[in-house]
Amino acid sequence: MAIERLIKFTLVFTLAVILMGAYTRLSDAGLGCPDWPGCYGHLAFPSASHDLANIESRFPDAQIEPEKAWLEMIHRYIAGTLGLMVLAILILCLKQPQAPKKLPIFIAGLIVFQAALGMWTVTMKLMPIVVMAHLIGGFSLFALLLLLYLRLKPLRIPGGDTYARKLIPLALVSLGVLVIQIILGGWTSSNYAALACTTLPICEGNWVDNLRFADAFSPFQGDHPSFEFGVLDYATRMTIHISHRIWAVVTAITLIVLALKLRYAQSHIMRNSGYLLVLLIIVQVGLGISNVVMNLPLGIAVSHNGGAALLLLTLVFINYALWRKA
């Protein structure tokens, strides 16, 4: 069906938008254009000398960096394209009698809210709670599009798998644990805390006595001209980083336990999902360690975001399959 092909393509495109968003954020280009939806009042970053002179007079406090401005605008344009694709999915679902209606409507509402978060990310100068919400919104959109695809194209998993049915609580807990870890990762990134600890396994120095959980997880951090590069002190950023690192261990253990138990499911789809889960965990942990020991290289940091998105998709699939067909 045309709608199923469109959703599959949109899923891939959504992952591309997530990766582009991570690349933009990690390149410190989130404020490459200080206004929204345009860039210095233009549809794209202008190159004419008279336009540049006009920009300098209109935005006297802005640090004009064309490369970062183009990164930000490319991200906005592909995100806008994603919005049009979601609108097309909604229209096709509404026209198709047997297609779900509530889920595509919710997804369309989410993409509108994502656009608003994108605007607030700029107008509120990279406020961490807004940046993190924008990241979580993108991951949520990715997961919901998979759910919509699965509802349109039901899985053919043999019924009567009483063993798999017993894994439903563990699969749901695993999904919750992963979501918390993704939120912690978003909070770490939006507060520029990824390099707060540069040693393994936990952190350098007397980190235990310097933990500040109340400050680390306060959603509001006062008024600042800009939140770019972070406004928190070292101890607070260290607390955020350590929380993300420790919860990564909890997440890895929980997901590996689920994956090992899936080996004994009757359905080969569920068994293969378990193997994929183990592979993604190994890759994701390796990327996380590489971020620390290699001082957050851009390619690895972006891949770490992509790995989290694929882990989320895998767990959503596993939960759907167990609830729907087990």
Per-residue model confidence as pLDDT tens for the chain (326 residues):
689 999 999 999 999 999 999 999 999 988 888 888 888 877 777 766 666 777 777 777 777 778 888 999 999 999 999 999 999 999 999 999 889 999 999 999 999 999 999 999 999 999 999 999 999 999 999 999 999 999 998 766 555 577 888 999 999 999 999 999 999 999 999 999 999 999 998 898 889 988 999 999 999 898 898 999 999 999 999 999 999 999 999 999 999 999 999 999 888 889 999 999 999 999 999 999 999 999 999 999 999 999 999 999 999 999 998 887 54
* Domain final position from 107, 128, 154: 154
For residue 124, the one-letter residue type is M
Task: Tell me which residue range forms the domain holding 95.
Answer: 1-154
Same domain, 128 and 18: yes
Q: Residues 155, 269: contact at Cβ < 8 Å?
A: yes
Q: What is the DSSP string of 101-153?
A: SHHHHHHHHHHHHHHHHHHHHHHTTS-HHHHHHHHHHHHHHHHHHHHHHHHHS
Same domain, 183 and 310: yes
pTM value?
Answer: 0.92
Same domain, 111 and 167: no
Structure-token pair, residue 322: 């167990």
Looking up tokens 């994701």, which residue turns up?
Answer: 284
Please report the sign of the dihedral spanned by the C-alpha atoms of residue 175, residue 289, residue 250, residue 216: negative
Q: What is the pLDDT of residues 188-223, one digit of tens each?
A: 999 999 999 999 988 988 899 889 999 999 998 988
Same domain, 302 and 325: yes
Distance, first Cα to last Cα, the chain = 26
Residues 6+ apart with CB under 8 A from 113: 137
- Could you tell me where the DSSP H helices lie in the chain? 2-26, 49-58, 66-95, 102-123, 128-152, 162-165, 168-190, 213-216, 234-262, 268-293, 298-325
Same domain, 5 and 118: yes
* Domain final position from 154, 186, 221: 154
Angle between helices 168-190 and 128-152 (to 10 degrees): 150
Give the residue among 134, 99, 129 at the shortest CA–CA distance from 116.
Answer: 134
Q: Residues 281, 256: contact at Cβ < 8 Å?
A: yes
* Domain final position from 105, 138, 154: 154
Specify which residues 39 forms β-bridges with: 42
Same domain, 164 and 145: no
Name the domain count of the chain.
Answer: 2
Name the residues annotated as catalytic.
72
Rounded mean pLDDT of the chain? 91
Structure-token pair, residue 297: 């290289």
Structure-token pair, residue 141: 């959109």
* Residue 189 CB-half CA count within 13 A: 30
Same domain, 107 and 166: no
